[in-house]
Amino acid sequence: MTAPVFDRMAIIGIGLIGSSLARAVRAEGLARSIVCSDANPEHAARAKALGIVDEATTDPAEAAAGADLVMLCVPIGAYGSVAATIAPALKPGAILTDVGSVKQAVIEAVTPHLPEGVHFVPGHPLAGTEKSGPDSGFAALFPGRWCILTPLPGTDDTATRTVADLWRACGMTVERLEPDHHDRVLAITSHLPHLIAYTIVGTATDLEDHLRHEVIKYSASGFRDFTRIAGSDPTMWRDVFLNNREAVLDCLQRFTEDLTALQRAIRRGEGDVLFDLFTRTRAIRKGVQDARQA
């Protein structure tokens, strides 16, 4: 346990990430009081019942009032309206940050509503599962993972360090990137894989009834992994694709071209082409494992 960094910390949205953060902050003693809001009253009540927050409400402005740090954990499509709602309640000197998987769109949605004297430090913890809701969270979600911060030029250095220290206290390694660069990197490492998973599982659902039943019954590990990813929150991922469309479409175009080349190699029986590709991709997988991100 460390000395509390915040007197009052507000978490807006108490799903997987929000509830995991509440648990981690509670375990590390980082805040004297944790308050959450969630549009779903059952989620808010459940967070209070679990004891991971001290107060729970459905009103984000009520949660944000008087908070030293406000963490946005809502779907990206809701950032603008939530920022407008909490803006009058944010106290001077408060830090506003977030966990969104897209950063440029988040900045554009939030900054027009920021009151004078409030410090905005956009962030993205690269951690998660396909689960959602306050019961799905766990403090061990963060250790050993990366958190990327994308503060704009002129952002208060102390506020940025405070957010970085928060995530480090949760066990994460923190780095800074430009917002646009972050979005391009995440388009290939996270967004495109989810899009492919949704597509493959969608293809399976369009099979004839007897084939669809057997695909589910005899699912091998590869298909099980795809169904796990495709089981993620549909609202969250709809907003990710709509708000990072240019980077996703660019990666999707490259993937389509590579897929066409692979299709041609299979049709022509070019085993050396396939072997070379699989050898190179295997090396990438080893690199992911060596970085302890598997």
Is 110 found in the same domain as 124? Answer: yes
pLDDT of residue 210: 67
User: Which pLDDT tens digit goes with each residue over 21-53?
Assistant: 999 999 999 999 999 999 999 999 999 999 999
Is 80 found in the same domain as 36? Answer: yes
- Residues β-bridged to residue 287: none
| Residue after which a domain boundary falls, among 162, 177, 192 | 177
| Residue after which a domain boundary falls, among 159, 177, 195 | 177
Is 117 found in the same domain as 253? Answer: no
| Residue after which a domain boundary falls, among 177, 201, 231 | 177
Is 130 found in the same domain as 271? Answer: no
Between 252 and 223, the higher pLDDT residue: 252
For residue 262, what is the enclosing H or E element? helix 245-268
pLDDT of residue 225: 75
pLDDT (mean) for 259-267: 94
The reply to whether 151 falls in a domain is yes
For the chain, give the longest Cα–Cα distance: 66
Is 168 found in the same domain as 217? Answer: no
**Residue 234 CB neighbours (<10 A):** 12
Is 86 found in the same domain as 15? Answer: yes
pLDDT of residue 224: 73
The reply to whether 1 falls in a domain is no
Proportion of the chain above pLDDT 90, given as a percent: 74
Q: How confident is the model at residue 283 (pLDDT cuts 50, 70, 90)?
A: confident
Is 168 found in the same domain as 26? Answer: yes
The CATH number of residue 80's host domain is 3.40.50.720
Q: Is the pLDDT of residue 1 over 60?
A: no
Q: How confident is the model at residue 161 (pLDDT cuts 50, 70, 90)?
A: very high
Q: Assess contact for 82 and 23: CB atoms under 8 A.
A: no
The reply to whether 58 falls in a domain is yes
Is 11 found in the same domain as 113? Answer: yes
| Cα angle, residue 74 at apex, residues 73 and 78 outer, rounded to 5° | 145
Is 60 found in the same domain as 142? Answer: yes
Q: Assess contact for 124 and 96: CB atoms under 8 A.
A: no
Q: Is the pLDDT of residue 247 over 80?
A: yes
Is 157 found in the same domain as 23? Answer: yes
pLDDT (mean) for 62-83: 97
Work out whether strand 146-149 and strand 173-176 pair parallel, antiparallel, or are unpaired. Answer: parallel
Least Cα distance to 52 among 24, 72, 30, 71 occurs for 24
pLDDT of residue 103: 98
The reply to whether 32 falls in a domain is yes
Is 203 found in the same domain as 150? Answer: no
Q: Is the pLDDT of residue 92 over 70?
A: yes
The CATH number of residue 274's host domain is 1.10.3660.10
Is 171 found in the same domain as 55? Answer: yes
Number of H helices and E strands in the chain, helices first, is 13, 9
Q: Is the pLDDT of residue 248 over 70?
A: yes
The reply to whether 247 falls in a domain is yes
Q: Is the pLDDT of residue 227 over 80?
A: no
The reply to whether 227 falls in a domain is yes
**Residue 91 CB neighbours (<10 A):** 15
The pTM assigned to this predicted structure is 0.87
User: Which pLDDT tens digit goes with each residue over 171-199?
Assistant: 999 999 999 999 999 999 899 988 988 88
Backbone angles phi, psi at 80, to 5 degrees: -60, -50
Q: Is the pLDDT of residue 208 over 90?
A: no
pLDDT of residue 51: 96
Q: How far apart are CA 16 and CA 137, in angstroms?
A: 5
Q: How far apart are CA 196 and CA 126, in angstroms?
A: 19
Q: Assess contact for 10 and 35: CB atoms under 8 A.
A: yes
Domain range enclosing 242: 181-290
Burial call 10-35: b when 16+ CB within 10 Å, e when fewer? bbbbbbbbbbbbbbbbbebebbebbb
The reply to whether 218 falls in a domain is yes
User: Which pLDDT tens digit goes with each residue over 103-156?
Assistant: 999 999 999 999 999 999 999 999 988 788 999 999 999 999 999 999 999 999
Count of structural domains within the chain: 2
Q: How confident is the model at residue 284 (pLDDT cuts 50, 70, 90)?
A: confident
